[in-house]
Structure 1
């Protein structure tokens, strides 16, 4: 037991749980927490951002690209609410993000006195954006609260959590016991009877099909093994890209999954909601689903599966692989057929989705296999979900169903901080980039060796396209006034270049990867093809099925 202030009790506790990086901005209600970080550079990196939302997205990028807890700290009230968009993104993507925030004086919480940064029921608001949130009311309670936060972060379905402490409690000195972190909870094992039932279904299947989401990232080797046993294509939308390398013939994109959906008799869904196929592609009595998820609630949220397996993806797949040994039928290799499907769709993407695919081809050609691409809510970003080959898990970072415009640059900063030795490329539209362009100062301050691409067309293009199609061409509120992005970058101390076409982008990328330090590349881009053609896909099964595309 050691006497310490509440702010130090929080810091000591999170460091004992392995936190090595904290993103954030100091402020009146977190001074004590930051003081506890002073002189600890050999234990923890403090990355100061230029906005609370930026700090939170950096923690999100750190978490998504590593699987470790990403930690940020902000002031209460407007600070934590500014970070709310990133918390909801972390929730959508099942990312383990820890928010550490302050509070008004403990005697004034909930009384509406009007202390600086006071908001009604801050804890209640944050609880509705996170998996779990709590207030620490005494320094001695900090270690237990932090331990519970990490239990929530690392067991079951991952998600963001938050801890708050009033500013007077942060400054209060009291005896604090700092126990060693608890041993991680045992892996949730699946029900053996259900494993046998699932193995029998999959073993008899004539045309099995596998869908993977982010919940399968820790089971990449098992996914490959069971896919090869079943000769089953492996389909992913966003979160599961790269779990099976796109160089493997069984790895198929989301549009390929739509082509394969009508023929499937048993679908194995691993760590995915299976939302779009179930809700939009159609169902019938001949289709059986075996669903694996760490969160039992996900198994029946959209539709009840034939077999629902609540458990850790890796442990459940290992049990299922063992069970298949006795039940699996012999199937001919699907290599020729699936490689033809992949080649045909690759050509279709190139024919239909330009110039986005041309730019993505340049990126893939110049980036290393383990490089990390951080997308954005932009025309090139949408196309990357199916038009950018991914060779390893956690190398395509997206915002999932949250779809937050402007999240990309700050997220990419967090990714780069986590992976200083790897290439990191952030693709942005001009609309989204301006949300967080101030974080160029952070990029320059820490001399981050990363590439930032801004595709500039002077509009919120997705909105303008929808207005044109739905409202008879009445386009309103979507035109943008942009700065010279190259000059903007240079003003922040970041190298800038302009690339007018894919060939010039290739040259700029080569220069950026050869040089040390950050580079922003502005790419003026004209009219773009409709990327949703390969994402908003019609029913191909059941009574509402449309004609299957050739």
Structure 2
């Protein structure tokens, strides 16, 4: 055993489980942890300007790379500031290891008036994350970290929080570091695979619905689609799991798409891969998937939870699909390729913003095939699943379930940290951008070549539309008082430019992609409003 501080025990265990990057802000309460990071050159710390931004960066890092991200916060306000980002990560299944300091457990819930005291910090975290542990000794730290990481690797990914009393971060104790954890067995039950194969063999018109859990199963997903001749539809979070240029792709499911609904009503078996079939991915249960439904999910609690399942397969998506490919799946089905193409093109789609198609097609024309588009809750972002086609996994992000503003910029920063060789483009509305615009400072500090695009219409457009439709054209406080975004970028020492047409956007995006640091492009939408 080696004597270590609690901070050193955290760092040593992070190295053990393969985590080498931490997002956060140093604080008085986490000084012992940061002193240990200082002494370990293999650990990279990305200092942010707000804990919410740090949480979104960790989310973007995890989504772009598929690896477990790490977030550090202080007691109390650090935890509450990060809560929105952790909530988004829980909603969209992003694995984030959250290390939080806390006060002496003996004082918890007693309101003794200490600095950063939160009445029930553990309760706050337990309401947000998928796994939580409060440690009481330095010796517990390694097992706590390993347990949290294993939890994220063996069930539906999401944030896991470990609370460590701040005194332990600087105290010393003998620590026994366990061996590096083995990857868990995520193979499927053979009997379930055989049953699923028989159902697919007997199907006349199967369809595959792929969610975020299929993101790293692309090779097997393509193989089984081709073997069955089954069209593939993806969710927002599954966009990129199946190449959209493939002849069997019917694209990404858009809201209340009657064209897709008509097709799904003609199908007799659905193979659902890595999708919980929650409210957002089934239009509140209206999505007409076939009653014969095979659901593959790493998380047993998700199988049959939202929609009755005929056959449930608890397994990693790649493992389950590989096992299915070993079975007799019958003859390939007859597919109407003209109909598949019609579904993919979705000509009847009504765009959220009239400029969206031109903006997104302009970006697609100049962005590399493996570039990452990170969307915020904004009108152009709502249209991106339709107009921004892609063939590479982990190339599209959207805050789908939690639906929080301010996600895009910091998530893009995290994605760029994870994938330094890829082009990362963030799209935010002018409303959402100001939720986390201070993280431009982080992009400049780290010299990350992200391209931040702000679609400027001077309005909370989606809310304005909702209010007008719902309340007889009455609306309140929708127009925005914005800064000069170009000057804002320049004040951080980064280039900024305003454009108002797709050709200029494409040109400026190409220019920005050749820079070594961040760039800001403001796109002035044709329906732009001014504050009166």
TM-score range, shorter chain: over 0.9
* Number of the residue aligned with 2:408: 408
Kindly report which structure 2 residues correspond to 1:418-437, keeping only aligned pairs within 5 A, or say none.
418-437=418-437
Q: Give the secondary-structure state (helix, strand or coil) at the position aligned to 2:326.
A: helix
d(CA) in 2 for partners of 1:526 and 1:67? Answer: 37
* Number of the residue aligned with 2:77: 78
> Is the aligned partner of 1:299 residue 2:296?
no
* Number of the residue aligned with 2:269: 266
Kindly report which structure 2 residues correspond to 1:111-190, keeping only aligned pairs within 5 A, or say none.
111-187=110-186, 189-190=187-188
> Is the aligned partner of 1:471 residue 2:471?
yes
Query: Scaled by the length of structure 2, what TM-score is found?
Result: 0.94
Q: Give the secondary-structure state (helix, strand or coil) at the position aligned to 1:425.
A: strand
Q: Give the secondary-structure state (helix, strand or coil) at the position aligned to 2:124.
A: helix
Indicate which of 325, 331, 338 corresponds to 1:321.
325
- Contact kept in structure 2, 1:350 and 1:358, CA below 8 Å: no
Indicate which of 231, 234, 238 corresponds to 1:233.
231
d(CA) in 2 for partners of 1:415 and 1:487? Answer: 25
> Is the aligned partner of 1:214 residue 2:216?
no
Going from structure 1 to structure 2, the CA distance change for 1:251 and 1:520 (only over 3 Å counts) comes to same
d(CA) in 1 for partners of 2:124 and 2:352? Answer: 44
| 1:88 to partner: Cα distance | 1.0
| 1:280 to partner: Cα distance | 4.0
- Contact kept in structure 2, 1:211 and 1:274, CA below 8 Å: no
- Contact kept in structure 2, 1:7 and 1:171, CA below 8 Å: yes
Indicate which of 340, 343, 350 corresponds to 1:341.
343
Q: Give the secondary-structure state (helix, strand or coil) at the position aligned to 1:218.
A: coil
| 1:234 to partner: Cα distance | 0.6
Deviations, residues 150-203 of structure 1 (Å, cap 9, x unaligned): 11121122111011111112121111112222212212x323222222212111
- Contact kept in structure 2, 1:106 and 1:166, CA below 8 Å: yes
- Contact kept in structure 2, 1:106 and 1:168, CA below 8 Å: no
Deviations, residues 121-173 of structure 1 (Å, cap 9, x unaligned): 21121012111111121111111111111111211221110111111121211
| Alignment gaps of 5+ in structure 2 | none
Going from structure 1 to structure 2, the CA distance change for 1:352 and 1:15 (only over 3 Å counts) comes to closer
d(CA) in 2 for partners of 1:221 and 1:474? Answer: 51
Going from structure 1 to structure 2, the CA distance change for 1:107 and 1:302 (only over 3 Å counts) comes to closer
| 1:329 to partner: Cα distance | 2.8
| 1:350 to partner: Cα distance | 8.6
Kindly report which structure 2 residues correspond to 1:376-525, keeping only aligned pairs within 5 A, or say none.
376-525=376-525
Q: Give the secondary-structure state (helix, strand or coil) at the position aligned to 1:30.
A: helix
Indicate which of 276, 281, 294 corresponds to 2:286.
281
d(CA) in 1 for partners of 2:485 and 2:520? Answer: 8
- Contact kept in structure 2, 1:495 and 1:519, CA below 8 Å: yes
* Number of the residue aligned with 2:19: 19
- Contact kept in structure 1, 2:352 and 2:379, CA below 8 Å: no
Indicate which of 247, 250, 260 corresponds to 1:249.
247
| 1:476 to partner: Cα distance | 0.5
- Contact kept in structure 1, 2:49 and 2:438, CA below 8 Å: yes
Query: Scaled by the length of structure 1, what TM-score is found?
Result: 0.91
d(CA) in 1 for partners of 2:421 and 2:437? Answer: 24
d(CA) in 2 for partners of 1:234 and 1:206? Answer: 15
| 1:208 to partner: Cα distance | 0.8
d(CA) in 1 for partners of 2:350 and 2:247? Answer: 19
Q: Give the secondary-structure state (helix, strand or coil) at the position aligned to 1:102.
A: strand
Deviations, residues 6-42 of structure 1 (Å, cap 9, x unaligned): 111111111221111111101111001001111423x
Q: Give the secondary-structure state (helix, strand or coil) at the position aligned to 1:83.
A: helix
* Number of the residue aligned with 2:193: 195
- Judge which range, 169-178 or 57-66, deviates more: 169-178
Going from structure 1 to structure 2, the CA distance change for 1:15 and 1:450 (only over 3 Å counts) comes to same
* Number of the residue aligned with 1:538: none
d(CA) in 1 for partners of 2:168 and 2:352? Answer: 60
| 1:423 to partner: Cα distance | 0.3
Q: Give the secondary-structure state (helix, strand or coil) at the position aligned to 1:337.
A: helix
| 1:109 to partner: Cα distance | 2.7
